[in-house]
Structure formats: structure tokens, C-alpha cells
Chains A and B, each alone.
Chain A
């Protein structure tokens, strides 16, 4: 090989390698920042809210695992939220769909723990059952803290607007009092409803359920339970987002498909959605459960050791 050609080949090689190293050192450019909005009046911030140890740990776990969807402060406005439908829950509002408590009340710790542990199969909410028990429990504390904080923030704004107090004064003098009040309210609400003994399923109970279903449920969930009732495509949730009724034929329910799970959904409704708490005696509700279970065309899913449906999201 003649020296000039050799030289060119070799220096070309060195050049390419250098270019790669230089390019590799380039710092990734950040997304353009949105234009600044008009500053809202000062309000209570999460920094003002002292966290007890459980919630403090929970905050760390939340920052590590949840902010991509639920957002830094739990408003449901994380980076992924734009692509998700249904949108990630705004944890600050205190509206939780899957509860064992009465309609419009906050969920119990066990309710939240179940959702965190098993996820909501088929939705974008994954299961976090591999997190240590203490971490999941701390997450529950933090999620409840977020809801409590939001209530307190609204109280503080009332003080600010009605009494003309400044935020530092409210934080210093009134916050402990507000906090005590909010937490008492929350604890009062988060009481599970009673689930009585399930009466045996009989042709009569199914028939009774069918009649009730045709009257009250079919307009959304459809005659055959596919979720295609006449008004099913025009439903909106509390944030004006589109929401679809459940398809009863698949046997997959977001928060458990055991009869007691269905009973609870009926008894307490899904907060923040058009699904109301169903009125009537427990026997009426059980009859409805009996009927809904007959709509299933696919085999129900088995549960794993954590009580989550097999095939739920896990990592």
C-alpha cells in the first residue's frame, strides 16, 4: 500500500473515532420551557406541610416510582399523562374509584394498598407488589397525605380570602388546627361499609338482578353487558375526560373480580365517575352481583399469592 493512501485510511479512522467521542460528550438538550404564566396568589405549598416518618419515606418512594404519570406533586400531570387515557389519577383531589367506603368518602388504607400492590389490570397502573411491604405502606401514607394537604390548602385559601391573612401567618398560626380538623374528617370518612353474608345464588335472585339491571344499568353497560349502552360513548368523569363503562363479559375488573369486590363497587360507587352508589338493600345488590356474574363469557382469572389477579402487571 502506498504511504499516502495508508495515511488517509488511518487518519480517517482516527477522525471517526474522535468524532464519536466528541459527539458522545454532547449534553442532551432539554425540552423548551413553556412561557411563564401569570403568578397565582400565594397558596399553601407541599413544603409547608410537615410529613411524619411514614409519609416521608412514602414521598421518596413516590418520587422514585410514580411521578412519571402522577406528576411531581400528585396532580396527575406527569410526563406520560398526555398519552394516557384514562388519565393518571389526580391524587390530590381525594377521589378514588375503588374503595370499600361509602360513596364520596376517602378509601381505607387497605383499599389503596390493594391498588398499589396489584395495580389496575388492563390499565396503565402497574402493580408494585415487588416493593417491600414497608414501602408500599409508606406510599399509602403519602397518597393520603396528598389528599389531606389539598383539603387543607382549600381551607387555607378561605382564610386567606375571607380573613385577609397572609400565607406565612396561616402556616404559622392556623395550620396545626386546620390539619387536625382535616385529618379528623378523613379518618371519619374512611370506614369500610359492611359486607353481609352473601345469600345463595338462585334463579330468582338472578332474575331479580336482571330486572334491576335492565332498568338502571343497561343504558350505560349495555343489554348484554359489553359496555355499549346508548349513553356509553358520551360519559364524562369529574375532570370532563371521556370515560367508558366496564365490559362485564371479559371477567376482568380493575380492582378484583370476586363477588365481594363487585358488591363493594355497587354499594359505594366509583367516586369521580358517572357510576353512582346503587341504592337498595344488600340483598338487592347481591342479586345484581349474581346477574352480572352470569354475563361473563370468559373464565375468571385466578389469583396469585398476593391476592392479585394472575397476569397483572409486575416488575
Chain B
């Protein structure tokens, strides 16, 4: 195992295609803002506000698909790709396969996302949760009714794998650093997961076995793509910014393999107490609890790395984003271990608890990490000093407080809903009891969106600015001699 080379940003700049990183970040910000706009729109509908009452393509059901899909495939994937274009050449000492291919991937991916959005607004979404990208066919058949976006995404994912696996294979370093473990596995798993989730449940497996596969897909997408990419990037950026090696390489490898083994076995926990064979459900419950091992090793490792350097949280905004994300990650996963037990599941399944959990994972953890990385990289990419560092602080606090409010609010709403449902309270009364919570969610969502809008404005003004950026401003320790 080697440590990350500690060069200054200029040292490897000929390896990194800064423009690709920048483009992907801009696309990511675009989809982040639109996705959150959609989210805000649907949160209004929960409060009986229907601003676009008679417009079919802006109705709740269709917009809801956009909210999740633009975050998953628009923001997270673009964000990850941007970060990877920066991280992988520096981790391997090699350029990516081909820069032109990079632009092609960029184009394919944005076209895919636009087509996905149009398709879903027209009601062509697929009935696979987190995989609602249009298949292009009528459900369960081969009658073409739209552009087969799923196929485009598979092609895109394949190109991405070639693009990044080539430098990893040709790496200058003999032993792979743990980031590359996570990333290379993530590329391969993404393709497999995507094909499995989108093909099997649609065309081959009906009913309960289909549900088992869909559960597997939902979970693999988060567990075998988003999580590995996120942690891979953390293993790169945290030591880079802290200028300290990772606390334990052994723990990082244990964390990786525990993730590889336990995470995919969790799938069925999305449909507990269902008609899927009970043995499979028990297996999923046990392995979900086992995932705590992964979480604990990884979180301990990162806090070990940080040990004695807590001032970084105050001094460095990216580090603050990262560690906030890690704390929320620990909270989410601890939540997983509890909510997967059948006793808790009985109450919280089908309620707002679940969206609360999902917001914490997707926004509070992985989006925070990408935003932190953007905060770190943006001045390095544009060569301009921040337009306003105070706005960066606002961005952090609005997002962090917003997501915590939303999480606690939806958690409470979930409990209220679950217990009222069990108590056989009439449905109308449950809805009335939930409306105040849904009102608070609008407020929390508004906070989060405001934060991102400020960030977007800051990014824009920074890129337009004239002050040159001095990377030494963001160093936590004086330049090594």
C-alpha cells in the first residue's frame, strides 16, 4: 500500500483535464438546483398547494420521479465523474483513457439526463424505484414508446468504466490504494446492478421475486455504486487536505471487503414482512445489521486520521463538509440497523420515516461530500479566488441545519403516521396530523435550496472574478520544506 503523493496542485496538473472536471461540476450544479426545485414543488403539494394544477406533466407523480432521478443520475453521477477526473489521474499517475472520450461521455450523460427528464414528465418513467429512467418500452413489453434511455445509460456506464479502469490498470504504483479499490469495484458493480435492476424486474421476474430484485437494485445502486464512489473519494481527499496519511490501511481494506460482502445481501430489506420467502427476509435483516461493521471500521478510520487535528473542522470548510457527512453517515447506518428489525419495520415502513432516511443518505452524506470537494476544487480549477468565503459558510450552515431539520421532522412524521395507522385511526385524521410536519418540511427544503442557490451564485461570481487564487491560503499546515 502506498500513500497518496503529496504534490501541490500544479505538480500533476498536466495529468488532470481541468475542463472536464469543471464541466461536470457545472452540470452537477444544474441538476442539483433543478432537482431541488422539483422537490420543493412536490413538498408544496403535500400542503395542498398546487401551483400548476391543470398541467399533467407537472403533477406530483411525474415530478417526484425527476426529484430522485436528477439527484441520483444528474447530480451525484456528474459530481462523482468530475471528482474522478481529478482524483484518478493523481492516484495512478496516468491520464484517463482519452480526453475526447471524456467529452463524449459528458455529452452522452447530459443527453441521457435531459431525455430522462422529458420522458418522466411525459409519463414514460419505469416502475422501478430509483431506476425510473425510461426503458423506452411500454411496461413489461417490447412496444417502443420512447427513447430507450436505460440502454443509453448502460452504454454511458460502460464508457465510464473504460475511461477510468485503463489508468487504474496502468497505474504507476504497484499496489492499489484503497480509493482505487472502491472506485474500480464501483464501475463494474454499477453496470451489473443497472442491468439487473432494469431488465429482470421489467421483463422476467413477476411479483414477489421481482420485488426482491427491485430491492436488490435499490440497495446495490446506493451500496455498490454511490457508497464506494463516495468513500473512494473520501479516502483520497481527506488525507490530501489534512496532509496526513490515513490512520489504518488494514481497517480500510476490511471496510471495503465487508462492504462488498454484506451490502448487496441487504436488498430484500426494502420489502420486509412481504410475500418474499421469510428466510430471504431474515437473511437481509441479519446482513443489514452486519453492515454496521463496515460503517464502524470506516468511520473509526477517518476519525483516527483526524485525531489531534480537530482544528481542521474549524479552519477548513471541505473538511467540515466531509466530517459532517461522515457523522450523518453513521447516524443513517445506525438507523438502518434498527429500522430493519421487523418490530420497527412494522411501524415505520410506508411512512415519512423512509424519505427522511433517504434524504439523510443522499443529501446529508454523499451530496455533502461532493459539495465539499467542489468547495475544495473550484478555485483550483478556475484559478480564481472565491467571490465570497462568507457565502460558503452560509451554504454550509443552511444545508446542514436544513437537512437535520428535515430529517428529524420526517422521522417524527413517520412515527406519528406509523402509530396512528396501527391504532386504526381513519386515514383522513392521519393526513391531518401529518400536515404540520409537511409544512416544516417545506421550510427545511427552502433553507436547503437557498443554500445551494447561494453556492451556485458564488461559483459563478468566482469564475467571473479577477483575483488569482493562492492555494496556500487553504493549506492547514505550512508548506512542507
Contacts and interface: CB of A to CB of B under 8 A. Distances in A.
Interface of A: 1, 3, 6-7, 9-14, 16-17, 20-21, 23-26, 28, 64-65, 128, 130-131, 315
Contacts of B456: 10, 13-14
B23 interface: yes
Given A10-B463, A23-B51, A26-B51, 20 more contacts: A3-B463, A6-B464, A9-B26, A10-B26, A10-B459, A10-B460, A14-B460, A17-B33, A17-B37, A17-B453, A20-B38, A20-B40, A21-B37, A21-B40, A25-B51, A28-B49, A64-B428, A130-B424, A130-B426, A315-B427
Interface of B: 19, 22-23, 26, 29-30, 33-34, 36-38, 40-41, 44, 49-53, 424-428, 449, 453, 456-457, 459-460, 463-464
Contacts of A315: 426-428
B74 to A, nearest CB: 12
A9 B426 contact: no
A115 B407 CA distance: 42
A12 B30 CA distance: 9
Contacts of B50: 28
Secondary structure of the A contact surface, majority rule = helix
30 contacts: A1-B26, A3-B463, A3-B464, A6-B22, A9-B26, A9-B30, A10-B457, A10-B460, A11-B460, A13-B30, A13-B33, A13-B456, A14-B453, A14-B460, A16-B33, A16-B34, A21-B37, A21-B449, A23-B51, A23-B52, A24-B40, A24-B49, A26-B51, A28-B50, A28-B51, A28-B53, A128-B426, A130-B424, A130-B426, A131-B426
Closest A-B pairs by Cβ, 9 of them: A10-B460, A20-B37, A315-B427, A130-B426, A24-B51, A17-B33, A26-B51, A13-B30, A13-B33
A28 B51 CA distance: 6
B308 to A, nearest CB: 39
Nearest to B58: A23
Nearest to B32: A13
A6 B460 contact: yes
Contact of B464 (A7, A12, A28, A131): A7
Given A13-B30, A24-B41, A64-B428, A7 B460 contact: yes
A80 B36 CA distance: 35
A237 to B, nearest CB: 30
Nearest to B31: A13
Contacts of A3: 463-464
Contacts of B36: 17
Contacts of A11: 460
Contacts of A1: 19, 22-23, 26
